[in-house]
Each structure stands twice: as C-alpha cells, then as structure tokens.
Amino acid sequence: DTEVTQTPKHLVMGMTNKKSLKCEQHMGHRAMYWYKQKAKKPPELMFVYSYEKLSINESVPSRFSPECPNSSLLNLHLHALQPEDSALYLCASSQDMGQGFQPQHFGDGTRLSIL
Amino acid sequence: DQQVKQNSPSLSVQEGRISILNCDYTNSMFDYFLWYKKYPAEGPTFLISISSIKDKNEDGRFTVFLNKSAKHLSLHIVPSQPGDSAVYFCAASSFNFGNEKLTFGTGTRLTIIP
C-alpha cells in the first residue's frame, strides 16, 4: 500500500473542461512534487512545493496550476488541456531535507486522457 | 539532453541468478543516486540509494555500485526472484537552494524467468 494517495486513478476530460487532481500524504513530509510520465518515458518533474510554498516550476504551461492548501495536501488544477497532455501524473513527497537525504515516495498516479 | 541513461530497455534473468542493471550519467554534480522499481498501474517504489561519496551500498538482496570516474552505477539483485519482475528506474538527485530534483533514466524492464 502506498502512503501517498492520489485521486482519481483515472480521468477523462475534454479540452474545455476544468478538473483537479488530488494528492495526500500523512507522513509529515514537507516537500511535495508533481511529475508527468508519458508512455515508455521516464517521469519528468513539473513542480516542487517546500513547506507549502512553490519552490520549483519546470517551465510548465499555465494550463497546469498547482496548489498546496496545507502540508498534507497537493492539488493540480487543469484547464484547457491539449491531447498531448494525456499522461500519467505522479505525486511524490519527501521529508525535510534538514534531516539528511530522504528518498521521495510516490503515489500510484492519475492516468489522464484528454479527448 | 538525457543526463541519466539506461541503455538496456529490457533484461531477462533466470530465477536464482544475479540480475545486473546499469545506468550512466553525465552530470558530475549529482549528490545521490537512487533505484526505483515500478509495477504496472503503480507508482515507483524506492529500492536503494547511494551517496556520491560512496562506492557501494547494500540492502538485503540489493546492492548498488557507483563508479564516479566512469559516471556509471549498477544495481545487483541476488538471488533474483519472480517478484522482482518490474521496470527499474535509475534516478539522480541534485539540490538547488535546498530543493531536491530527481532526474530519471528511461527504465529497464526486468523479467525473471522461473
């Protein structure tokens, strides 16, 4: 069982829809991440939140809007997506880096299909 | 620009034998290297890591070796078990103002033959 929970597991949406992906962890981790993974490709970093503040945005288009309402929750708001945005979206979390290196823990992802 | 490469897309190994997965990198500033295992319909699961100042780390059946001069690392699994069949990703960690960034390789699909 994963300790990072992502909902929904699958999402199909049209290009004009607005939807949100949700990620939750209760491990007390203070860094949270969004990754995008296309078929047969490695995960690619999109955003990093550290202590609920956005610290890295890997030049992601504005149709993806992250939000971190509290230390346990991370959302990814989607609007006006394109068919090429269809992918597996993975959330990860990690411990405070002040305690030494800690690996990132991943959720099972949301498989997104844009019609 | 692929900074982390796994040149073998697939590998088949007999059960009980040693599985060796390889990874090459180009950026000498990476601080840690990690291996993740991924089953279909699941997220990557952390397996083992190694600091850039070490050359070996062992955890049970899993051992990671790092050769900094060659910019090469490998994961050894011994003995291999059917449950080890999965896609294995090598990842390299770098830090920017305290924020960690993982760069993944393209993955190697390991199949353990009973």
pLDDT digits (tens, 9 = 90+) for B91-111: 999 887 667 889 999 999 999
- pLDDT tens, residue by residue, B71-93: 999 999 999 999 999 999 999 99
**Residue B40's pLDDT band (cuts 50, 70, 90):** confident
For position B2, what pLDDT does the model report?
Answer: 79
Q: Which residues of B touch A48 (CB under 8 A)?
A: 99-101
- The rounded mean pLDDT for chain B is 94
Decide if B99 and A50 are in contact by the 8 Å CB cutoff: yes
- pLDDT tens, residue by residue, A46-97: 999 999 999 999 999 999 999 999 989 999 999 999 999 999 999 999 986 6
For position B49, what pLDDT does the model report?
Answer: 95
A20: which 2 tokens? 């949100």
Check: CB of residue A70 under 8 Å from CB of residue A52: yes
For position A98, what pLDDT does the model report?
Answer: 61
Strand ranges, E, within A1-115: 4-7, 10-13, 18-25, 31-37, 44-50, 53-57, 64-70, 73-79, 87-94, 105-106, 110-114
Question: From CA A48, how far away is CA A35, in angstroms rounded?
Answer: 9
Which residues of B fall below an 8 Å CB-CB distance to A? 4, 31-32, 34, 36, 41-46, 49, 51, 89, 93, 95-107
For position A102, what pLDDT does the model report?
Answer: 83
pLDDT score of A1 more than 60: no
**Residue A99's pLDDT band (cuts 50, 70, 90):** low
Check: CB of residue B21 under 8 Å from CB of residue B38: no
Q: Which residues of B touch A109 (CB under 8 A)?
A: 43
Check: CB of residue B15 under 8 Å from CB of residue B110: no
What is the pLDDT averaged over residues B30-52? 93
For position B99, what pLDDT does the model report?
Answer: 74
Give the burial class of A101: count Cβ atoms within 10 A of its Cβ; 0-12 exposed, 13-18 middle, 19 or more buried.
Answer: middle
pLDDT score of A39 more than 60: yes
User: Bigger pLDDT: B53 or A100?
Assistant: B53
